[in-house]
A and B are shown apart, each in its own frame.
Chain A
């Protein structure tokens, strides 16, 4: 009876080959569905990550100028900050040379052209130690100055001024000692003609000071971007106990990043090593010549 219609169910009985064909068609459909599913799955594996929404990026800062290479310190026109000594000029003016006939000091009417004209507090302390001798000397100096002022060579004037500490040019950048004040290790120079009773102690103190500054100076050659010949000279005025009273740039490098690294170092290194025991002055000015390290 195979192949004859079944009128009770309304279905048409299938013959053996028909069943096989239907089975094959079903198998084929199943296979195709499976294949399509696999392909879909593989395609998802190829792009495993659904792209998330874009990140919204908003600036919280508006800079006055164009977004230059460096906001912290760049070669651009950003204003130079002066933090600790805003009233100080960037390059400290040279002390004025003594006038030919300055006004006499109240306590010493004869003291014309007194060395204290520079108003350095350290000289006040020296006066207390040798008051009588100083009166005589100052008197002599004033007379000599009056008598030889016109004929004195300029070099002598400069030398005397220099010895008075009023126009003390720093030594050469090489850091070699220029005077007899004694040089410490390489790169340490003590200003001209020092006659202090214990220069050896100062020679001992100088490398300590250099090491102290170097330890507080954070410098990365790429971040700073300084060239080998750049340098910045900073004057710091310290008390005998090492407290930094003030500081100012005597000359800037021209590279603001470099100068700011120097500025931060100065701010971080306070206090510095105290001056040697018995140091004859209460305050001391130190010129720090910052140069990029050899790479």
Chain B
């Protein structure tokens, strides 16, 4: 037994090695890291709505509805709306999960599908809209809206908000507005438009220079700076009644910023010939002086919890972004690159601070983590890009840019991709301010 073992041992050892090698190759699991998805938007199919309503206005309402739905959801930057001409089928078989053949939609790569049908209901149109997960063959959201044909935009806005809510837990940007400054009337006045630039309207008609619009966190008041009687004063205007009152302390009152969840604001005042940041009530009563440096301190921007504040200061040489507690204590410098960093805007989710930085003679928008780490440039390619303002869900940034020659309002994804012009109006537009949610 021992002898035979000795004879066979060298051969066995060689064989074992060979066997192990072959076996290892044959059975080894190949291990691959996957961390660079090339589809950064979710493929979504929105076929034309099915018209079963008999009202003469139904076909036009359906066309308007499916087109608006594609535009609204594409605006979010979340979705890749697959072009309808590439669809293998339409919704002729039906619009419910039992009637839809999901393989027709997974075959073209659609991960989500929205079906729409218009039917008569009590003399009005009823829009039946459903969102499906095509791979799970399940319905994610479904609503029926009974409305008049001239309410198609409202219907689609509501359903778009429902889609985003079902997917993310937030309402998206569909029930928001953007305030901005326009020179269209001949002087700088404040205008409003819907989230996508639709329906612009003039808000102030003071025939004076109006700047720096700032929404209160409940969306009921707008503060802004107006040059009246020579020097800049703060104005607060009730948006629904349009009644206004001014706040004037000293020779300069600028850059208002409402404290989240309170009828208070921070602003830059110059009571002793030095520009410092103060907190005030919404009626203008000074609460506290927050900065006391001999240099300029301006442009306060609250953190979403109202406990901290970013601001611009020249206290360290150059113009840089700092943060401090809401009581003015523990000021910390955040930016260290460049010599001119201004206009901080704290993201509503609290994670980032966007700001404007001077780069190679041009203003560019940057974003950094709220602790000052990882600053990265979001804009480039031409013109001055400045005055960043976050959407309330922190996914989009509005800004003004001169990339087309005159200053216009643009919107980009929060990572700097897909910048698109919001609207074209006479004159120049600047200083956008994205509202909070304004749902009824």
Contacting residues of chain A (172-198) with chain B, CB-CB under 8 angstroms:
173, 175, 179, 181, 187-196
Asked if B144 and A288 make an inter-chain contact with CB atoms under 8 angstroms apart, the answer reads no
State whether A164 and B34 are in contact (beta carbons under 8 Å apart), knowing that A60-B130, A217-B39 are contacts in the complex.
no
A264 interfacial by beta-carbon distance below 8 Å? yes
Q: Select the stretch in B18-26, B203-211, B269-277, B332-340 that faces chain A.
A: B18-26
CA distance A165 to B43 in the complex (A): 38
Asked if B142 and A83 make an inter-chain contact with CB atoms under 8 angstroms apart, the answer reads no
**In the complex, which residues of chain B have a beta carbon less than 8 angstroms from the beta carbon of A214?**
34, 36-38
B85 interfacial by beta-carbon distance below 8 Å? no
State whether A134 and B30 are in contact (beta carbons under 8 Å apart), knowing that A61-B139, A71-B166, A268-B109 are contacts in the complex.
no
Distance (Å) between the CB of B340 and the closest chain A CB?
Answer: 26
Taking A118-B27, A206-B32 as known contacts, 5 extra A-B pairs with beta carbons closer than 8 A to each other, sorted by chain A number, are: A69-B165, A136-B8, A196-B25, A285-B29, A286-B30
Residue in B24, B31, B41, B147 whose beta carbon sits within 8 Å of that of A220 in the complex: B41
Contacting residues of chain A (122-176) with chain B, CB-CB under 8 angstroms:
122-123, 125-126, 130, 133-134, 136-137, 140-141, 143-144, 147, 160, 162-166, 168, 170-171, 173, 175
How many A residues touch B, CB cutoff 8 Å? 95
State whether A220 and B42 are in contact (beta carbons under 8 Å apart), knowing that A61-B142, A70-B169, A196-B25 are contacts in the complex.
yes
Contacting residues of chain A (56-84) with chain B, CB-CB under 8 angstroms:
56-61, 67-72, 74, 81, 83
Residue in B23, B29, B167 whose beta carbon sits within 8 Å of that of A72 in the complex: B167
A259 interfacial by beta-carbon distance below 8 Å? no
Contacting residues of chain B (266-302) with chain A, CB-CB under 8 angstroms:
none
State whether A160 and B148 are in contact (beta carbons under 8 Å apart), knowing that A218-B41, A268-B109, A288-B32 are contacts in the complex.
no
Residue in B141, B167, B395 whose beta carbon sits within 8 Å of that of A61 in the complex: B141
CA distance A190 to B78 in the complex (A): 34
CA distance A81 to B136 in the complex (A): 8
Asked if A165 and B27 make an inter-chain contact with CB atoms under 8 angstroms apart, the answer reads yes
Asked if B151 and A55 make an inter-chain contact with CB atoms under 8 angstroms apart, the answer reads yes
B331 interfacial by beta-carbon distance below 8 Å? no
Residues of B whose CB lies within 8 Å of any CB of A are 5, 8-9, 11-12, 15-16, 18-43, 77-78, 80, 106, 109, 111-112, 124, 128, 130, 133, 135-136, 139-148, 150-151, 154-155, 158, 165-170, 393, 395, 414-415
CA distance A289 to B35 in the complex (A): 8
Asked if B12 and A136 make an inter-chain contact with CB atoms under 8 angstroms apart, the answer reads yes
Asked if B135 and A263 make an inter-chain contact with CB atoms under 8 angstroms apart, the answer reads yes
**In the complex, which residues of chain B have a beta carbon less than 8 angstroms from the beta carbon of A140?**
8-9, 11-12, 15-16
CA distance A264 to B134 in the complex (A): 9
A213 interfacial by beta-carbon distance below 8 Å? yes
Residues of A whose CB lies within 8 Å of any CB of B are 52-53, 55-61, 67-72, 74, 81, 83, 115, 118, 120, 122-123, 125-126, 130, 133-134, 136-137, 140-141, 143-144, 147, 160, 162-166, 168, 170-171, 173, 175, 179, 181, 187-196, 202, 206, 209-210, 213-223, 225, 235, 260, 263-265, 267-268, 280-281, 284-295
Distance (Å) between the CB of A148 and the closest chain B CB?
Answer: 11
Ordered nearest first, which 6 A-B pairs have the shortest CB separation?
Answer: A165-B27, A69-B169, A140-B12, A195-B21, A60-B142, A187-B33
Distance (Å) between the CB of B32 and the closest chain A CB?
Answer: 5
CA distance A58 to B130 in the complex (A): 12
